[in-house]
Amino acid sequence: MTATHHFDILIIGSGVAGLTLALQLADHAQVAVLSKEQLEEGASLYAQGGISVVLDQADSLQSHVDDTLLTGAGLCNEQVVRFTVEHARESIEWLIDQGVSFTKDGVTSETYHLTQEGGHSHRRIIHSADATGREVETTLLGKAQAHPNIHLFPYHIGIDLITSQKQFGDKDNQCLGCYVLDIKADTPLTFTAPITIMATGGAGKVYLYTSNPDVSTGDGIAMGWRAGCDVANMEFVQFHPTCLYHPKAKSFLISEALRGEGAKLLLADGCQFMDRFHPQVELAPRDIVARAIDHEMKRLGDDCVYLDISHQSKDFIEQHFPTIHRRCLDFGIDMTSEPIPVVPAAHYTCGGLMTDIHGRTNIAGLYAIGETAYTGLHGANRMASNSILECLVFAHSAAQHISQQLPLSSKGSTIPAWDASRVKPAKEVIAVSHNWDELRRFMWDYVGIVRSDERLHKAQNRLKLLQQEISDYYRQYRITSDLLELRNLADIAELIINSALQRKESRGLHYTLDYPNTNNDKPAIDTIITGKS
């Protein structure tokens, strides 16, 4: 018999999106926030560059909108883009009110320092040195820990959403909560709530090389899809052009802000190459820079390229990029005097659970925000530093919509407990670790930066065999966090592959050798996969 917890609001994910929503609602509701690792662990913590917002008088909201639409390669929802940009400043002011400290132009200045990144036509990236995500995440977490109505559950991973359709056969599907594994106690729990929010981040760990932390296994997207949520544009996976290339450097991002401050991409012989690929050279959109690096590495057979900012002074580098500078020194690289070896790596999931402007999915009572959601903001390619902005704006919008429904009622008391009576402990876990490794390798080889129908079909065939093994294992043995993540990653891989096969063109982050051109003869459309339930 599993324990049951009931709350007004259940938030799965403790990153910037989840914590922002929790803080917005906690004065009027009992809120549970689940994290499958320690509370601060997640992609938000490692975000370096900053948050895009129009603060400079030389800039404009329209310019931010135009840059986002251009980067999104014809698939952005202009209404959503405008909504996000127009609410950016108030979101930043809210963060400042919470105690977030952003970098100023000088010691005595009251003006915030703004940097420029790929795709932006102005300096509009507000930041906290080169550790913006850490500053925002830890500040919001401190506020959440101090709030009496926010209940934090670290080391709790979602198993599956609880829906009225599955439990009671209701025609109109409604989310009633989530079955959850308490990892420390190795015990399944039942969390019920009239409102559940998916804020679990992206799915970069479906690839062998990624800038994402280990927790980025697409749990929210996979659980939502299995419950019946429609999913859009999963073929658009952003590969960050510059991750540190070193055998001992795991998932360490070299911020785009370096290129915003004049860093140049070089080949091993010291020659620049971006001028052959785009007029904006190093500040071209990320998909173009990543493909250019991938092309040069394959052309020359090199393991990496190099990013050089040594033309800037030592003081400038140490002041603006202290985290990156220290991390590079840990691996014997002095970025003040030598270039940094870099490679592209999976970075951001532009697709996700389809939502409206309030974060609502097509299942009543279920919302999605942040990287888990597809709002239409990013289209076919996310513009740099629009990600944390999306977390903030849509958390605020969802909070306003949910607040109008308070007080809430629920069917929580009638939910049956998780049934583990027909499974047994696994004798060994080698199958899970082997399948995890195989999945990530063939996704990197066949569904990476450059694709083809032949590669995608090879990946699809491999995945079918893998999913059967995972399904058999899931039915026979007790669940573990590793098994749940593997199951979710397999679902994510299926969504990415099937979405990529449907798109018969190259657009934004999706580049295929079979259809190398963008189809501009008709309006661009989203790739939608209906919910599995």
What CA–CA distance (Å, rounded) separates 201 from 212?
A: 10
**pLDDT band at residue 1, thresholds of 50, 70 and 90?**
very low
Q: Of the candidates 345, 379, 396, which is a domain's last residue?
A: 345
183 and 221, same domain (yes or no) = yes
| Catalytic annotation, residues | 286
Is there a single domain that holds both residue 364 and residue 332? no
Q: Ramachandran region of residue 359, left (φ > 0), alpha (ψ -120 to 50) or beta?
A: left
* Statement to judge: residues 75 and 155 lie in one domain: yes
Q: 498 and 359, same structural domain?
A: no
373 in the same domain as 284: no
The CATH number of the domain holding residue 369 is 3.50.50.60
| Domain annotation covers residue 420 | no
Query: Are 285 and 397 in a shared domain?
Result: no
pLDDT at 31 over 50: yes
Percent of the chain residues past pLDDT 90, beyond the cut? 76
| 248 and 386 co-located in one domain | no
**Domain range enclosing 287:** 244-345
pLDDT computed for residue 384 by the predictor: 87
Q: What percent of the chain has pLDDT over 70?
A: 97
Q: pLDDT (tens digit, 9 = 90+) per residue, 285-338? A: 778 898 899 889 888 989 899 999 999 999 999 998 999 999 999 999 999 999
On whether both 340 and 366 belong to a single domain, the answer is: no
Are residue 154 and residue 201 in the same domain, yes or no?
yes
- Verify that 291 and 304 share a domain, yes or no: yes
Model confidence pLDDT, tens digit, residues 409-445: 765 557 888 877 677 777 667 778 889 899 999 998 8
- Plot region of 142 (φ>0 → left; ψ -120 to 50 → alpha; else → beta): alpha
**Residues 480, 474: Cα–Cα separation, whole Å:** 9
Residue at which a domain ends, from 298, 319, 345: 345
Residues 205 and 274 reside in one and the same domain: no
- The arithmetic mean of pLDDT across residues 493-513, rounded, is 96
91 in a domain, yes or no?
A: yes
Domain harbouring 266, CATH code: 3.90.700.10
What number is the average pLDDT over the span 357-367? 97
Mean pLDDT of the chain: 92
Tell whether 114 is covered by a domain. Answer: yes
| Residue 494 falls inside a structural domain | yes
Question: 532 in a domain, yes or no?
Answer: no
Q: Please determine, for residue 2, whether its predicted confidence score (pLDDT) is greater than 70.
A: no
For residue 79, tell me if it sits in a domain. Answer: yes
For residues 511 and 449, the answer to whether their CB atoms sit within 8 Å is: yes
Burial class of residue 43 in the structure, from the number of CB atoms within 10 Å of its CB (0-12 exposed, 13-18 middle, 19+ buried): buried
As a whole number of angstroms, the distance between CA 490 and CA 486 comes to: 6
Indicate whether 144 belongs to any domain. Answer: yes
Residue pair 216/202 in contact (Cβ under 8 Å)? The answer is: yes
- The pLDDT tens digits for 229-275 are 999 999 999 998 899 998 888 778 898 889 989 999 999 999 999 99
Is residue 355 predicted with pLDDT exceeding 70?
yes
Say yes or no: 380 and 336 in one domain: no
Per-residue pLDDT band at 503 (split at 50, 70, 90): very high
Q: How far apart are CA 494 and CA 237, in angstroms?
A: 14
Question: Which residue among 345, 365, 393 closes a domain?
Answer: 345
- Is 0.85 surpassed by the pTM of this model? yes
Report yes or no on 265 lying in a domain: yes
Q: Report pLDDT for 412.
A: 56
Number of domains forming the structure of the chain: 3
**Confidence category of residue 407, pLDDT binned at 50, 70, 90:** confident
